[in-house]
Structure 1
Amino acid sequence: MSFTPFTGDDNHKRSVTFCGALVAHEDADSFKWVFTRFLAAMGGKEPKYIITDQDLGILKAVPLVFKTARHRYCMWHIMNKVPSKYGMTRDDYSVFVKKLNAIIWDEDIEATEFDAKWEEIGREHNVNNIDGFQEMYAKRKQWVMAHCRDLDMGGVMRTIQISESENSFFKRFESKSGTLVEFSMRFDSAMDQQRHTQKQIDNCNRHTFPVISTHLAIEVHGAQVYSHKVFEEFQEEAKCSIGTCKSRGFTEYGSLEVTTVRDANRDKNYEVTYCPDTLKATCSCRMLERKGILCRHVIWIYSSNGVKIIPEQCVVKR
C-alpha cells in the first residue's frame, strides 16, 4: 500500500505532518476516502490550499470533498515535464527554458505581464500550438505564481518538494518487510520525534534573541514577534530597505499617502499606500499578503515615518 502523508509548513519553516493514510489503490474513490477522513481528522476545517501533482484520481476527488480549499498544482512537477513536451534536442532549448523559468518562478510580475510574456516566448520559439503548452497555460491560475500572488499566504508553499523531504524522514522509520502494526508503531515514533524537535525549537525561540544587523528599531521588534527562522527573511528585507529603497514620488489622497518607492536591487518601482492614522500599509509587491512578512518597501516607509514597531495587523498568526 502507498503511504500518503499530509504535509505543511510550521512557523519555523519546517515540515509538519498533519496526518497520513495508507491506500491500496491510487484512484478517485480511494483519494475521496482519504480526503474525507483527513477533513474529519481536522475537525471539518479545510485548508486554504491543497497542493498536489496532477494525478487524475486526485483531480477528480478534490472537488468532491473540499468546498472552500483552493486546489493548486505543484510547480516543480509541471516544469519537470517541459523537456518531454518541448524536446531537449532543439537548438534553442536552453534559451527557451531560461526564459520560461524567469517568468514562471517570478513572484514580482503581475498576471497580465505574465500572460504577455508567455505569448511572446511562445511566439519566439514556436510552441504556442503544442498541446502540452496550451494545457499549461489554460491551467495557469492553479500553479503560476503571477496568478497566485494575490492569494492570502499563497506564496508560502508552491511545490510538493516539502512532502518529498518528509518522505525521506519517514523512510528512517520504515521497513519494507514490516507488518502494518510495526508501521503504525514506527509512524507514532516519527511523530513523537517531530513534535519533540518542534518543542526544542519553540523553547530556543523563547529563550534566545537573534543578532540585530541594522539600526532600525522595527528590526528589534521583528525579532520579538517572529520565530527566528521567519525573522531571518524579515531581517533580509530590513537590510535591503536601507541601501536599496528611495522615494520617486509622493501623493496624498485624503488620509492616505501613496509613495513610489524605487528598488535599486530589482530596478523597479513599487507603489506603497500608507495610512498614518492606522499605520496600515500595502505594497504593490504583495509580499505581506503572499508570505506574511513585511517587504523592504513598507519597512522603508515605516522607518521614514518613525514607526518603530510592526503593527499588529501585519503580524500573521499561525
Structure 2
Amino acid sequence: MPFAPFVGVNHHGQSILLGAGLLSNEDTKNFVWLFQTWLECMNGRAPNAIITDQDRAIKNAIARVFPGTRHRYCLWHILKKIPEKFKAYSQYDAIKSALRRCVYESQTCGDFEVGWQRVLERYNLKDNDWLCRLYDERTFWVPAYLKGVFWAGMTTTQRSESMNAFFDGYVRPSTTLKQFVDKYDIALRKKVENEALADFNSFNSTLSCLTFYCFEKKFQQVYTIAKFKEVQEEILGRIYCTVSLLTKECAVCTYQVIELVQVSVEDAFVKKVIYVVYLNEDEDEFEVKCTCGSFESRGILCRHVISVLTAHNITSLPPRYYLDRWRKDVERRYTLVKSSYDSLSGNPDVQRYDNLCKCMHKLAEIAARNVDHYRKVQRHINMLTSELSGLSCESIGDDLEVEIDGDDLEVETDQVHTPLKVRTKGRLPYKRKESAVEKAINKKKSQEKRNESRQRKRILKVPSPISHNIQHSDVFETQDSTTTKDIWPRELLKG
C-alpha cells in the first residue's frame, strides 16, 4: 500500500512527521480523502506551503482541499528527467548546463523568462512538448517565482523520502497492518527522543561568537544550535562579498553585492554572482531585503545582507528578523498532549493539563444541556482566559491547582518498566532499537562497571595442572602491585 507521509521541519531543522496515510490507490479521489482527513486532524488549519511530486492527481486534490496553500513541485524530480528527455541530442551536455543555469541563476522572474527563451532559440527546442509543459507550470517549480514564500529551507521532497528510508529500519515488506501500527509508534518515539536531545544540547551548550556584533550575540542567545550554525555560515561567507552603493533616495539605499562563488573544487574555478540589496535606514520603517530571497524562504539572513549591515555599522536588528520559528524556547502546545508513543507521565505540566481537560469535559457535559448555562460557562471561560493570558508561566507556577472529588484523576506514580525487562508470554518480540539516549546511558554504566572491577582485589586460584600439590581451599590474594614471585611457592616456580 502506498505510504503518504506529511513531513515538516522543527526548530532544529530536523524532519518531523505531522501525519501519514495508507492509500489503496494514487488517484485524485484518494488524495482528496487523505488531505481532508488530515485537515480535520489539524483542526482545519491548512499548511501555508506544500511540496509534492509533479503528479496531476495530487495537484488537483491540493487545489480542491487547500485552495489557499502555495503548491510547489520537487525541483530535483524535474531536473533528473533531463537525461531521459535530451540524451539523444548531440548537444546534450550544453543543453543540460544551459537549463540548469537558467533555473538556478535567475534571480528574478524576468531573468528566467529571458534566459528560457534564449535556451529554446539557441538549441532549437521551441517544439519540445516537455519543455512547453514545464514553462506553462513554471510558477510551481522555478525558484525565482517562489522566493517570497517561507519554505523553511525545503526545495525538494528529500525529507519525505528520507522519512520513508527512516521507516525502513522498523518496517519490512512482510509486516502486517497490526505490526505496522506498533512499529509506527516506536519510530515516532525515536523522533521525539532526537528532538529532546537537541533541545537539551541547545539549552546546555553554547557556540562561541565569531564577531562582536550585537545581532550575532542575539542569535546565539535565542536560536537553536543548528540554526545558529547556519547564521554563522552566512557571517563567514561575507568575506567573499564586495559591497558598493548604487543609489540613495532619502532613507532608502540600493547596494550591489558581488559574491565570489566556488564552482569546482578540483579546478579551483570561481565565478562572480551579482546581487542587489535594498536598505531602508528609517528607524520606524527599518527594512533590509536581498534579491536572493534567503530570509523570506529560509528564515536566515544571507551573507549579502550581513555585508551591507556591517558596511553601514549596523550591529542590531529589529525583533522581526529573529524568527520565533527557530527559537530554542519556542512554545509547542502539542507537547502537553499524551500520545500512543509517549505518555509524558513524568512531566508535571502534562499532569495539570490532563486534569484540567477532564474538568472541562465534565463541565461541558453539564453546560451543553441548557442554553443559559452554556452562555454562562462561555462568559466565565472568556474572562478567565483573558485574565490568565497576561500572566507568564513562571507566575502561574504550581499555584494553579484543581480540586476534584473522586479517584478519576489519579496521578500515575508506579514505575513503568522498559519492555526489555518485562516478562512476556508466548513468542518474544523483535529486539527494539536503542535510542541515542539509551546508548549513552548503557555505555556509561558499562564504563562504571569496568572501573569498579579494576579497583577490586584479584583472587587467584591455583591452575588445574598443579592443583595436586596444593589444597583446593588454598587461595592467594594479591594487589595489583604484587608480583607473581611474591605469592607463589618456590617449589612450584621451579616446576
User: Normalising to structure 1: TM-score of the pair?
Assistant: 0.92
Question: In the alignment, does 2:124 pair up with 1:129?
Answer: no
In structure 2, runs of 5+ residues without a counterpart are 261-271, 326-495
CA distance in 2, matches of 1:202, 1:245: 37
Quote the residue 1:302 is aligned against: 309
SS in 1 for 2:324: coil
Choose the corresponding residue for 1:206, options 203, 207, 226: 203
Contact map agreement 2:246 2:254 (CA 8 A) in 1: yes
Deviation at 1:250, TM superposition (A): 4.6
| Deviation string, structure 1 residues 4-63 (Cα, Å, up to 9, x no partner) | 111122222221110001111111111111101111111111111111112232122111
Calculate percent identity across the aligned residue pairs.
29
Quote the residue 1:173 is aligned against: 170
Quote the residue 1:188 is aligned against: 185
CA distance in 2, matches of 1:301, 1:217: 15
Quote the residue 2:20 is aligned against: 20
CA distance in 2, matches of 1:191, 1:244: 43
* Alpha carbons of structure 1 residues 78 and 155: separation in structure 2 relative to 1, 3 Å: farther
Question: In the alignment, does 2:227 pair up with 1:227?
Answer: no
Quote the residue 1:6 is aligned against: 6
Q: Which has the higher contact order (CA 8 A, sep 6+)?
A: 1
SS in 1 for 2:90: coil
CA distance in 2, matches of 1:54, 1:264: 33
CA distance in 2, matches of 1:137, 1:155: 25
Quote the residue 1:317 is aligned against: 324
CA distance in 2, matches of 1:148, 1:155: 12
* Alpha carbons of structure 1 residues 112 and 155: separation in structure 2 relative to 1, 3 Å: farther
Deviation at 1:237, TM superposition (A): 1.7
Quote the residue 2:253 is aligned against: 258
Deviation at 1:264, TM superposition (A): 3.7
Quote the residue 2:283 is aligned against: 277
Deviation at 1:215, TM superposition (A): 4.0
SS in 2 for 1:114: helix
Question: In the alignment, does 2:39 pair up with 1:46?
Answer: no
* Alpha carbons of structure 1 residues 264 and 70: separation in structure 2 relative to 1, 3 Å: closer
* Alpha carbons of structure 1 residues 103 and 202: separation in structure 2 relative to 1, 3 Å: farther
SS in 1 for 2:317: coil
Higher Cα radius of gyration: 2
CA distance in 2, matches of 1:112, 1:209: 43
Quote the residue 1:138 is aligned against: 136
In structure 1, runs of 5+ residues without a counterpart are none
Tell me how large the CA RMSD over aligned residues is: 1.9
Deviation at 1:242, TM superposition (A): 4.5
* Alpha carbons of structure 1 residues 267 and 3: separation in structure 2 relative to 1, 3 Å: closer
Quote the residue 2:37 is aligned against: 37
SS in 1 for 2:246: strand
What is the aligned residue count?
Answer: 313
Contact map agreement 2:241 2:307 (CA 8 A) in 1: no
Deviation at 1:123, TM superposition (A): 1.2
* Partner amino acid, structure 1, of 2:177: L
